[in-house]
Chain A
Amino acid sequence: MSGETFVEYKDSFSYGSRPDLSFKFLKGLSEEEAATFLHDLITKVGEAIDDGDATRIIEHVTQGQIEAYSKPTQWAYDDGPFAKLAKPVRESRIGLLTSTGHFLEGKDPEPFGVKNMTQAEAVERITDFVKSTPELSEIPADVPADQLLVRHGGYDIRGVQADRNVALPIDRMTELAAEGVIGDFASPAYSFVGAAAQTPISRKLAPKWADMFKERQIEGAVLVPV
């Protein structure tokens, strides 16, 4: 790495020689912004050494992500549709759909025909994923943790690996349904790899998935992007 510039260094966390999807946003910061972010991060790590409180570090990383993602994309609409929930949530059948890239053991969607693709391979092929059409995976609400797999080259999956509920809250939804807060939690939930081509999702898949939700008599949906 001799002669590596600071810009090359900060950019290397985004699909480069040091891939870390929680820090890929460094590429979206200017040289000065990234330098300030890293200096402040080191200061906060130094403070946490003595009191063990990582909150300041987590908040700093989150703030860095917010600053780096401050620009909207081309997908803008002047107005949008709105459907009102017909009944209270406690009487409604609620579905869940996430872009987390979860799937069941034995039901790998095998992107690009690749068997047993690893997370590292998915990260390496991110440019292929963003041009691809995703497949929807069914996730039964009671799936044991060891039968639920996740692979997604667009975000840091360490959080969902530690606890699926951080982005695929099937256990929390099940609990709320058991308590009567939700009328019924529609199992299975659904997951797909959200790093995908937008036009087929917008024109073809999303209307198709909406029809499927209607056929399953789902009356409201919780959607979680990552």
Chain B
Amino acid sequence: MSVGHIARAFEENGIPTVIVATKAFRPRLEVMSLPRLVLTPYPMGRPLGAPNNAAGQRQTLLAALDLLETAESNGSIVEVDYPYR
């Protein structure tokens, strides 16, 4: 929830944000009316992907940056499904 509060404050101050989180956090984040959310199917504590899987981490970040640029309204949520390894 900490990061959800930060996203809301940043947006109120004109800084666009995108949150990258593991899917387990969806229920908690969704109710916070957040601007942009990329959800990943990975174990908690590893939201970008597996250790030393640079290609996978990169794909997750690219999805986040794409949403940062293209989202048109609050509540923009994307689920990615790249393999963990």
The finding on whether chains A and B are genuine partners in a shared complex, rather than unrelated, reads yes
Q: Which residues of A contact B (CB under 8 A)?
A: 21-22, 25, 55, 58-59, 61-62, 65-66, 68-73, 75-85, 88-89, 94, 97-99, 134, 155-160, 162-163, 165-167, 169, 171-173, 175-176, 181-182, 192, 194-196, 198, 201-202, 205-207, 209-211, 213-214, 218-226
Q: Assess whether A80 is in contact with B15, with CB atoms less than 8 Å apart.
A: no
Given contacts A75-B32, A182-B65, contact A166 B46 (CB under 8 A): yes
Residues 1 to 52 of chain B near chain A (Cβ within 8 Å): 1-35, 41-52
> Is there contact, CB below 8 Å, between A206 and B8?
yes
Cβ 8 A contact of A166, one of B12, B27, B28, B48: B48
- How many contacts A-B (CB < 8 Å)? 237
Shortest beta-carbon distance from B41 to chain A in Å: 6
Query: What is the CB-to-nearest-CB distance from A223 to chain B, in angstroms, rounded to a whole number?
Result: 5
Q: Does B77 contact A (CB under 8 A)?
A: no
Query: Whole-angstrom distance between the alpha carbons of A62 and B8 in the complex?
Result: 27
Q: Judging by beta carbons under 8 Å apart, are B15 and A198 in contact?
A: no
Given contacts A206-B9, A210-B15, contact A201 B45 (CB under 8 A): no
Q: Bound complex: CA of A182 vs CA of B2, how far in Å? A: 26
Chain A residues whose C-beta falls within 8 Å of the C-beta of B10 in the assembled complex:
83, 206, 209-210, 213, 221, 223
6 contacts across the A-B interface (CB closer than 8 A)? A62-B22, A85-B16, A166-B45, A167-B48, A181-B62, A220-B18
- Count of B interface residues, CB-CB < 8 Å: 65
Decide: A165 and B48 in contact? CB cutoff 8 A. yes
B55 nearest CB neighbor, chain A only: A172
Residues of A close to B21: CB separation below 8 A: 224-225
Residues in A neighbouring B74, C-beta threshold 8 A: 79-82
Q: In the bound complex, what is the Cα–Cα distance between A59 and B8 (angstroms)?
A: 31
Q: Which of A55, A71, A223 is the most central at the interface, judged by chain B CB atoms within 10 Å of its CB?
A: A223
Q: Is the CB of B16 within 8 A of A83?
A: yes
The answer to whether A172 and B9 have CB atoms under 8 Å apart is no
20 A-B pairs besides A76-B32, A82-B11, A223-B10 with CB distance below 8 A are A72-B28, A72-B30, A73-B31, A75-B32, A77-B31, A81-B8, A84-B16, A84-B72, A88-B69, A89-B66, A99-B2, A158-B45, A160-B45, A160-B46, A163-B51, A182-B65, A207-B13, A214-B13, A222-B65, A224-B48
